[in-house]
Amino acid sequence: MRKLIAVLILFCAVAGLSFYGTVPKAKPGTFRAAQLEYKRVKNAYAAQWDSIVPRLKRMNVRMEELEVFIRGFKDEKELEVWVKNKTEGNWKLYTTYPICASSGELGPKRCQGDNQVPEGFYHVSVFNPNSNFLLSLGVSYPNASDKVFACKRDAGGAIMIHGNCVTIGCIPITDEKIQELYVLCVEARNAGQKTIPIHLFPIRFTDAGIVRIKAAEDELAVRTFWDNIRAGYDWFETKRTLPIVSVDAKGKYLFR
């Protein structure tokens, strides 16, 4: 019996990498290497790497050229992940995750404690490998537009895309999905993508959809805001490229 146990232990030690999944080698000093110092990130790679690599290959996206774009829809409770090679213009849909919990209502976030999920144009502001919700990616709220419209006391902050299906103003997806998304974003940053865009919308802006939500919204300022951000949504829908987004002195988004 002892000999059998010893054999099993040896087998597990040898086969452990394949059993738990592949963790790629990381060149010292790279973003990937720094992230792999954290156990949760290493576990995420072990769980997700062997499915990410062939999927990107089928899409003709090279890991060393990877760029990522994230787009979320509050009403549909969906978070899209788009990818491309940095030398290409057009984005390709990698997957769509269900947003597994929500708070607040349709409309932008304007104040600390309003439980709202932001709407607008952001980017990944932080990688948190020690999140209270497994792993998390920071959303760069408040941006320049949010600061113009923010309530006087405090615009709020610390908006994250994270695991574990609980939220107060954040964007939760399941632990499995945040592992995959986190690895994709680490790889994109490792490949040289300095800014990973995040676009957040109340709905998919179909003509019928915008009529529906505007009819239910009493505030003219919110309806006007939706018309403004729809221009950025339409840009991507028609071109499959991202506009350059800026904000004027009145908080209006400009696209070019």
Of the candidates 123, 170, 185, 199, the residue annotated as catalytic is 170
Q: Extract the tokens encoding 135.
A: 């792993």
Unique residue bearing structure tokens 């890991």 = 63
Q: Is 170 labeled as catalytic in the residue annotation?
A: yes
Burial class (CB in 10 A: 0-12, 13-18, 19+), 179: buried
Q: Is 199 labeled as catalytic in the residue annotation?
A: no
Contacts of 126 (CB under 8 A, 6+ apart): 137, 138
CB distance 230 to 250 below 8 Å? no
Of the candidates 100, 123, 162, 185, the residue annotated as catalytic is 162
Unique residue bearing structure tokens 């502001």 = 125
SS3 11: helix
Dist CA 108 CA 225 (whole Å): 8
Would you tell me how many other CB atoms lie within 10 Å of the CB of residue 13?
Answer: 9
Positions marked active-site: 162, 170
